[in-house]
Chains A and B, each alone.
Chain A
């Protein structure tokens, strides 16, 4: 970030960072019920696509975690899949060997994702720009390589299967139509959305946004930019880990691609399509991306690449704020 853009960003920051304005509060109140209503409507309208829609919800939680890192703390990362995959494998292994309760499995995934983010974040977050980007890629590649080699635990390139979670809350079995899975994923995403919103509005979240805008000023005010970044990285790691665990629980399988570079890159694409720094932008982007992907990739993966490539270029050139900015016309002006 250059000095000039920082000024532009800080100048317009109060409109977003301070007390919520009246229309914003209205929108806030509506966001969660709207999400729930749309999710339930989709449940009734497309009963045959519950598998796909469950994957979308899981991915949305994962992209939400990337939004916390990138949109709110300004950490450019291409390695978010490391946290997602670690959470997925931790939950999967726990499900095979130890416990069956889905909520405990989510917790296991969240803790695993948070721990790996904390450990690697402490190491790599001193870098900046391209160096940091490369470090995040390298970390994710190493985690993937370890998962590939630890065949006995993870199943290696065959993937980890045999995850059979018990009934949710001891009441709802995971049925073969994926109804329980879908509703469970929807509930987890809603909860994640609300918690994430709480976090980004907290003093901690605002401090992280301060680091994104101007780390030097935060340091001058007595904050510790690196500690804030590591903390936010770990928090987002918990979200990504829970998302990974959710995918393990609902799909019953964990593959090496859950740690892959392309999964990290796709998250970035989804987030930017939706709009960074807006939590529901992450969800919007994921839904748009995964739906179009499903429709186009079914015919030919290269059609999909052409489409997403053109779409990405179009977004950057003509719609820098992402899809969310279409509705949300109060642009911040820090993305020229």
Chain B
């Protein structure tokens, strides 16, 4: 019983981190049709910036978090302009994969040059340490915080896409980019804004999840398969799908690691295959699919 509870809490928290990072990927994949393998690298960059801000400059956690997200978004916008804009669209799948793998390699090498190959931590502030009593049970405060931020992200994204002007334009451009452009929607700006949104989410997840996905230079390569799995299972461009997929895969992965540690990977990938068999386009057939 104790184990099951632990699996549930850790699995959901892990799933929320997966969701926050992957939904950014899902949105850019849904709108720009770009398979961005450098997405994990952006999350990693934000984690390193936050770690440096907290440990090197002594900034408080919240400031480090906000600074890292902002800085990552600002730093990646020129990349959108210079690199990504050339490879938007479904026809360039292979070019996208290669360009973004190349970008990932460069970022990994750069991070290693700047910060070294050792594991980096982002020290948690006082209020996030310790545990939170929840009736008879107690859960680590950090996990509770992550879950809360995850839920807030789901709600905020839903509101942004379904209830705002930006969301309407975005959905129009996803459904038919040429028609949207013809109707006067500035799709180029929209793409840049969406890219910034996706990167910002990656950055947020990278900083928040540093406890669960440890920061080291190979982070960008190690976890990208995980993020892509969430997007494939959830369906590109679908927020609800990403959330469901991230939670399902997060819980399955955690359960596999707790219960049958020797076959952890096996369990995860077997589930992935089974799900993709049943739903080849993801849980929620994405807008792009």
The interface of chain A, by Cβ under 8 A from chain B, is 1-2, 4-5, 70, 76, 123-124, 126-131, 133-135, 137-139, 141-142, 145-146, 149, 261-262, 265, 268-269, 272, 276, 302-303, 305-306, 308-313, 315-317, 320, 335-336
Known contacts A1-B90, A303-B109; is-contact A269 B225 (Cβ 8 Å) = no
Q: Is the CB of A265 within 8 A of B91?
A: no
Contacts of A262 on B, CB cut-off 8 Å?
221
A-B contact pairs, 30 of them (CB 8 A): A2-B90, A70-B94, A76-B94, A123-B273, A127-B276, A129-B93, A130-B236, A134-B228, A134-B272, A135-B273, A135-B276, A138-B269, A138-B273, A145-B263, A145-B265, A146-B266, A149-B262, A149-B266, A265-B101, A272-B98, A276-B94, A308-B102, A309-B107, A310-B102, A312-B98, A313-B102, A313-B103, A313-B106, A316-B99, A335-B94
Indicate whether A312 sits within 8 Å of B101 (C-beta atoms), given known contacts A5-B91, A134-B228, A306-B106.
yes
Residue in B35, B91, B104, B217 whose CB lies within 8 Å of A1? B91
Asked if B112 is an interface residue, CB under 8 A from chain A, the answer is yes
Given contacts A142-B270, A336-B91, A336-B92, contact A149 B228 (CB under 8 A): no
Chain A residues near B112 (CB-CB < 8 A): 302
Task: Look across to chain A and name the residue whose beta carbon is closest to the beta carbon of B222.
Answer: A261
Chain A binder among B81-89, B183-191, B196-204: B81-89
Contact of B95 (CB < 8 Å), options: A124, A139, A335: A335
Q: Give the shortest distance, in Å, between B18 (CB) and chain A (any CB).
A: 14
A312 touching B280, Cβ below 8 Å? no
Partner of A312, one of B29, B102, B107, B236: B102
Given the known interface contacts A133-B228, A268-B98, the answer about A306 and B276 at a Cβ–Cβ threshold of 8 Å is: no
Q: Which residues of B sit under 8 angstroms from A316, Cβ to Cβ?
A: 87, 95, 98-99, 102
* Dominant secondary structure of chain B at its interface with chain A: helix
Residues on B with beta carbons closer than 8 Å to the beta carbon of A320: 95
Report the Cα distance A320→B99, complex, angstroms: 11
Distance of B93 from chain A, by nearest CB (Å):
6
Q: Decide: A130 and B99 in contact? CB cutoff 8 A.
A: no
- B113 — which chain A residues lie within 8 A by C-beta? 302
Name the B residues within 8 Å of A269 (CB-CB).
Answer: 98, 101
**Cα(A129)–Cα(B94), bound, Å:** 10
- Measured between alpha carbons, how far is A129 from B92 in the docked complex, in Å? 11
Task: Give the complex CA separation of A262 and B273 in angstroms.
Answer: 20
